[in-house]
Structure 1
Amino acid sequence: MKKDEPMSAEEFCPIRQTIKLLGKRWTILIVKEIYFGKGRKLGFMELRRRLPDVSTKVLSERLKEMAEAKLVRRKEHRDSKPVRVTYTLTDKGKDACEILKVFKGYGLKWGGKDTFNCGDIDCELCPRRSENEED
């Protein structure tokens, strides 16, 4: 599309816009890891440890993009030496966790014989949580 051409109806599609926001490799897994941090502010190295297959460069790029898109909040802790940077989910990022629930349900149903319910028996994202379990 040229700069002066109007956007097509397809480009306004909410599915397309969501995939543009969350569809880059590692983005949704970064959301997942921050979510499972249970409210802790996760630093870069903690995220790197939780996602060992992502390169340092790509993780840095994704976190920058996610902060610009307001999926994560980046906070510098200047009281520590060296300065520590942590990430938490914004409300927009927390809403993306609803997509994780759908992914998990799909994976449990169609993921194959090696798929199992991860987390603490039934994690908070599991659509098959016990009905007796309190939130």
Structure 2
Amino acid sequence: MTLQLSGRMARAERTEAGDACPIERSISLIGRRSTVLLLREASYGTSRFDDFVRRTGLTESVTADQLRRLVAEGLLTKHPYREPAQRQRFEYVLTEAGHDLVPILLALGSWGEKHRPRSHRIRLVHADCGAPIHVEVRCEAGHAPPESEVAVVLEDRPAT
């Protein structure tokens, strides 16, 4: 089973798609291990620089660079705070675009649990009822199509 390529995407060369590939654009933004770890932590509620460093194991310089980049790309936003007798610092919080990545992070985690298991298991459950959560592909009509029924279609966007 594979995805279906439709219309211009079905051509062998597919060169006219150019930078249209959303997977390539997304990976160029979030494809670094450090970026994914920081987004994971932000989705868990981590917001302070020192906590990001401690929980990811990244160096301070890598953490600072990646947090700056995630803010510039619109995935995180900075909010100032000040502890008593301390200098101003910033908390980092997911933006709407950052929250839209959470299902992708959950899907990566689910894949890792299934195909790269370790001695400890991490499960996704609905906090209210305890039922397992599954990440799946679903169309707007409510169907969960098999991979072979997902069509990739190249469309031109209207000029703005």
Q: Structure 1 length as normaliser, TM-score?
A: 0.74
Q: Does 1:59 align with 2:63?
A: yes
> Take 2:110 and 2:32, find their aligned partners in 1: how far apart are those partners?
21
Q: Which residue of 2 aligns with 1:20?
A: 28
Deviation at 1:8, TM superposition (A): 5.8
Structure 2 residue matching 1:82: 3-state secondary structure: coil
Deviation at 1:27, TM superposition (A): 0.6
Unaligned runs of 5+ in 2: 1-14, 134-160
Cα deviation 1:55-100 (Å, max 9, x = unaligned): 1111101000000111001112257521121101011101111111
Match for residue 53 of structure 2 among 48, 51, 60: 48
Q: Does 1:83 align with 2:88?
A: yes
Superposition misfits of 4+ residues, deviation over 4 angstroms: none
Q: Which residue of 2 aligns with 1:32?
A: 40
Structure 2 residue matching 1:66: 3-state secondary structure: helix
How many pairs does the alignment contain? 116
Q: Does 1:107 align with 2:112?
A: yes
Unaligned runs of 5+ in 1: 1-6
How much is the aligned-residue C-alpha RMSD, in angstroms?
Answer: 2.6
Identity %: 25
> Take 2:21 and 2:92, find their aligned partners in 1: how far apart are those partners?
29
Deviation at 1:51, TM superposition (A): 1.3
> Take 1:108 and 1:56, find their aligned partners in 2: how far apart are those partners?
29
**1:122-133 correspondence runs (5 A):** 122=123, 126=124, 129=125, 132-133=129-130
> Take 1:115 and 1:75, find their aligned partners in 2: how far apart are those partners?
38
Deviation at 1:102, TM superposition (A): 1.0
Q: Structure 2 length as normaliser, TM-score?
A: 0.63
Highest Rg: 1 or 2? 2
